[in-house]
């Protein structure tokens, strides 16, 4: 920020003038002044004591005097506490800073150019045998927020998804549908396609368990029964047919996957999640096989007696890793190698980020080594954005499967609660039409869900508490959204009263410490965005928004805006409010959270 740059230059000049030495600007450390002292920015003078050869306090005093004389428009006053020089910044500088923010619609955001690094972010990555659940919700929200944050840091971003659309699990759903489905379709039943398929996956499991039980009653061991049950054998046969391109099996597979994708699309749309490029495991696993065989030829991997192919990772301190089974079929890792190959072919990737739960930490550690061995430039530094589990407080909102929280149910439930809350509210927005009320409920319900999940450090396990998340008080999405709507309402009233918002502000305005603190917080936004990007940490944006809103609400409580008599102050407070609302919208936007104009 402008203010800091001016101080840094003046300090460099001050050291030269007072003590005759040149210093590098990087050695000048400024920090926010601690609450207990007067001032806004604090210069740490300890690094300069060797040069000044004076006591910390004296050095601070001398530098303080120098700054106050040299840049009076910036440094209005100072006080020295040991080696800390607390600087009081002149009101005009804060007003100048707010004006800069006001005139920059993209404040805090860095646009990418054709030369910017290309970051590919993979998230979601569901299997096609069941609908999305709460774990996927966390995954999708984190992935989307991360994509926005990387883009805001000047990267070119490609959002991608790898759908696991083949394998024994999908054969189980297909088989159960053939046996028990009587030709049911999403149209004939009115059931969303992904839920329909999920229902047959559950049906398979139920019948399979019955068969196991029967076989065990006939004297088989559990392991044997699991292996010998007719249903599982049929499913395996189906998988072989699928791999051999059996036309009937493939046609059924395509049909049922289409149902699932149509269902996923509805969920993604509801969540506000999208992708630039979707990969399918059915199209990548053979590529993976090829790549592994290539590696085998190059001596990177080895073959065991039974014909299976392995990577020896013992030199890396890991174990041996299976890449192709003895029958030549591929495993999960093979698919990921194939997907990497296609992605690299399609895009000049500089950085690859995989948003995948922490139960796969080992998988990605191995993948990174394998990709590196296979010559993928980004392999070694691939980022596994590893996140923790999310659960509901006991027993609530369980889905049909009994243990998993369904994403669609969850979203519907959140929007329903938001709708109910606004109906119960005392100061209802009575002039709202049905459509607008629904739209606000959608924004608020989703905002509650998204914010509650994103404010938590991604690595931590968490409980999603629906009731807490939608509370209008506290560190919640609706609290922030409400403050946004309140500011927008003030701005509407101002405009109705014919008060326009100017491009620039009068420098002759007195500011309170609260107002200065708000400008200082606004000015910090670009740093927060940078930090979120370099740490891959959406939660720091969330917590910043909360702190900003909390501070603004105190200001709103203590100061009048439209009723302020002093015109300069009134205008200043309107601009300040408008900029707060802009940064709330931008910050929440980075998290994929919308903000309502009224609420």
Q: Least distance from C-beta 592 to ligand ARG, angstroms?
A: 20
Q: Min. distance of Cβ 293 from ligand ARG in angstroms? A: 20
Residue placing its CB nearer to ligand ARG in the complex, 126 or 295: 126
For the CB of residue 267, give the shortest distance to ligand ARG in the complex, in Å: 15
Cα angle, residue 279 at apex, residues 273 and 282 outer, rounded to 5°: 135
Distance of CA 305 to the CA centre of its chain: 46
Residues that bind ligand ARG (CB under 6 A): 122, 125, 127, 162, 164, 336, 354, 356
Q: Which is nearer to ligand ARG, 60 or 162 (CB)?
A: 162
What is the 3 state secondary structure string of 226-295? HHHCHHHHHHHHHHHHHHCCCHHHHHHHHHHHHHHHHHHHHHHHHHCCCCCEEEEHHHHHHHHHHHHHHH
C-alpha angle 500-502-503 in degrees, rounded to nearest 5: 145
- Least distance in Å: CB of 284 to ligand ARG? 10
Distance CA 8, CA 596 (A): 41
Closer residue to ligand ARG, CB minimum distance, 265 or 359: 359
Q: Are 107 and 525 in contact (CB under 8 A)?
A: yes
Least CB distance from residue 194 to ligand ARG, whole Å?
A: 14
Output 160 or 483, the one with its CB closest to ligand ARG: 160
What is the spatial distance between Cα 66 and Cα 79, in angstroms, rounded to a whole number? 13
**DSSP 8-state symbol, 430:** T
Q: How far is the CB of 336 from ligand ARG (least distance, A)?
A: 5
**Phi and psi at residue 409, in whole multiples of 5°?**
-60, -45
Residue with tokens 């203590």: 558
Sequence-distant contacts of 465-471: CB under 8 A, at least 24 apart: 465/392, 465/393, 466/392, 466/396, 466/397, 466/410, 466/413, 466/414, 466/417, 467/417, 469/414, 470/414, 470/417, 470/418, 470/421, 470/444, 470/445
> What is the greatest pairwise CA distance in the chain?
97
Cβ neighbours of residue 73 under 8 Å, at least 6 residues apart? 90, 92, 93
Question: Toward ligand ARG, which CB reaches closer, 259 or 354?
Answer: 354
Closest to ligand ARG by CB, 62 vs 165, is 165
- β-pairing, 351-357 vs 41-44, is unpaired
| Minimum CB distance to ligand ARG smaller for 122 or for 408 | 122
* Contact present, 583 and 548 (Cβ < 8 Å): yes
Minimum gap (Å) between residue 395 Cβ and ligand ARG: 25
| Relative orientation angle of helices 332-346 and 281-297, to the nearest 10 degrees | 100
Residue 101 CB, shortest distance to ligand ARG, in Å, is 40
- Closest approach of ligand ARG to the CB of residue 340, in Å: 8
Nearer Cβ to ligand ARG (106/403): 403
- Closest contact distance (angstroms) between CB of 207 and ligand ARG is 24
By CB neighbour count within 10 A (0-12 exposed, 13-18 middle, 19+ buried), where does 195 fall?
A: buried
Beta carbon of residue 162, minimum distance to ligand ARG (angstroms, whole number): 5
Q: Partners of 357 in the beta sheet?
A: 387
CB of 277 to ligand ARG, least distance (A): 13
Closest chain position to ligand ARG (CB): 125
Q: How far is it, in rounded angstroms, from Cα 179 to Cα 202?
A: 13
Q: Which is nearer to ligand ARG, 122 or 515 (CB)?
A: 122
Q: Which is nearer to ligand ARG, 311 or 548 (CB)?
A: 311
Query: Helix, strand, or coil here: 156?
Result: strand
- Nearer CB in complex with ligand ARG: 354/572: 354
Q: Are 518 and 581 in contact (CB under 8 A)?
A: no
Element (H, E) at 336: helix 332-346
Looking at residue 476, what DSSP letter applies? S
CA distance 304 to 408: 46
Helices (H), 559-594: 567-590
Name every residue whose Cβ is closer than 8 Å to that of residue 58 and which is 6 or more positions away in sequence: 52
C-beta closer to ligand ARG: residue 405 or 440: 405
Distance CA 551, CA 558 (A): 11
N- to C-terminal Cα separation, the chain: 34
Q: Using the minimum distance from each CB to ligand ARG, give the nearer residue, 84 or 279.
A: 279
Residue 160: CB minimum distance to ligand ARG, A: 9
Which of 76/342 has CB closer to ligand ARG?
A: 342
- Dihedral of the alpha carbons of 544, 142, 277, 250, in degrees to the nearest 10: -160
The DSSP result for 424-476, as a single string, is H-SS--TT--HHHHHHHHHHHHHHHHHHHHHTS-TTS-EE--HHHHT-SSSSS
**Pick 30 or 356: Cβ nearer ligand ARG:** 356
What is the smallest separation between the CB atom of 129 and ligand ARG, expressed in angstroms? 10
């Amino acid at each position: 920020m402008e203010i800091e740059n001016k101080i840094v230059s003046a300090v460099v000049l001050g050291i030269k003038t007072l003590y005759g030495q040149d210093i590098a600007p990087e050695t000048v450390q400024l920090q926010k002044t601690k609450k207990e002292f007067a001032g806004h920015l604090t210069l740490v003078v300890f690094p300069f004591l060797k040069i000044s050869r004076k006591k910390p306090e004296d050095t601070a005093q001398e530098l303080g005097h120098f700054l106050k004389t040299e840049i009076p428009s910036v440094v209005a006053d100072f006080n020295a506490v040991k080696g800390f020089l607390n600087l009081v910044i002149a009101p005009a500088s804060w007003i100048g800073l707010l004006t800069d923010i006001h005139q920059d619609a993209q404040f805090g955001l860095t646009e990418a150019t054709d030369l910017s690094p290309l970051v590919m972010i993979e998230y979601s990555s569901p299997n096609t045998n069941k609908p999305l659940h709460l774990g996927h919700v966390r995954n999708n929200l984190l992935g989307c927020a991360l994509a926005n944050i990387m883009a805001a840091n000047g990267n070119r971003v490609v959002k991608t998804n790898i759908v696991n659309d083949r394998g024994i699990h999908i054969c189980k759903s297909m088989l159960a549908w053939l046996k028990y489905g009587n030709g049911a379709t999403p149209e004939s039943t009115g059931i969303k396609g992904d839920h329909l398929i999920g229902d047959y996956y559950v049906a398979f499991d139920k019948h399979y368990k019955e068969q196991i039980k029967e076989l065990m009653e006939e004297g088989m061991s559990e392991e044997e029964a699991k292996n010998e049950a007719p249903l599982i054998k049929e499913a395996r046969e189906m998988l072989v047919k699928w791999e051999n391109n059996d036309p009937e099996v493939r046609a059924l597979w395509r049909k049922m996957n289409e149902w699932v994708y149509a269902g996923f699309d509805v969920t993604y749309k509801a969540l506000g999640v999208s992708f630039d490029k979707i990969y399918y495991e059915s199209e990548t696993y053979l590529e993976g096989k090829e790549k592994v065989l290539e590696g085998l030829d190059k001596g990177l991997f080895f073959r065991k007696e039974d014909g299976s192919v392995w990577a020896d990772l013992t030199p890396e301190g890991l174990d041996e890793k299976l890449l192709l089974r003895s029958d030549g079929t591929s495993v999960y890792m093979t698919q990921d190698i194939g997907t990497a190959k296609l992605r690299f072919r399609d895009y000049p990737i500089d950085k690859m980020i995989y948003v995948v739960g922490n139960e796969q930490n080992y998988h990605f550690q191995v993948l990174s080594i394998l990709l590196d061995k296979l010559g993928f430039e980004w392999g070694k530094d691939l980022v596994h954005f590893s996140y923790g589990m999310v659960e509901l407080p006991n027993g609530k909102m369980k889905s049909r499967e009994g243990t998993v929280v369904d994403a669609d149910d969850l979203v519907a439930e959140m929007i329903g609660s938001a709708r109910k809350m606004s109906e119960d509210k005392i100061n209802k927005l009575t002039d709202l039409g049905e459509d607008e009320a629904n739209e606000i409920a959608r924004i608020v319900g989703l905002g509650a869900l998204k914010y509650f999940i994103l404010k938590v450090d991604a690595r931590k396990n968490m409980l999603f508490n629906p009731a807490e998340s939608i509370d209008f008080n506290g560190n919640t999405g609706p609290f922030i959204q409400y403050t946004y709507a309140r500011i927008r309402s003030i701005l509407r009233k101002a405009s109705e009263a014919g008060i326009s918002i100017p491009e620039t502000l009068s420098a002759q305005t007195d500011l309170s410490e609260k107002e200065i603190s708000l400008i200082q917080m606004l000015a910090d936004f670009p740093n927060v965005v940078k930090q979120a990007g370099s740490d891959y940490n959406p939660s720091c944006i969330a917590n910043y928004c909360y702190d900003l809103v909390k501070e603004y609400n105190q200001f709103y409580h203590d100061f009048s805006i439209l009723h302020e008599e002093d015109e300069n102050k009134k205008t200043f407070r309107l601009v300040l409010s408008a900029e707060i609302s802009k940064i709330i919208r931008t910050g929440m936007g980075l998290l994929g959270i919308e903000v309502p104009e009224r609420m």
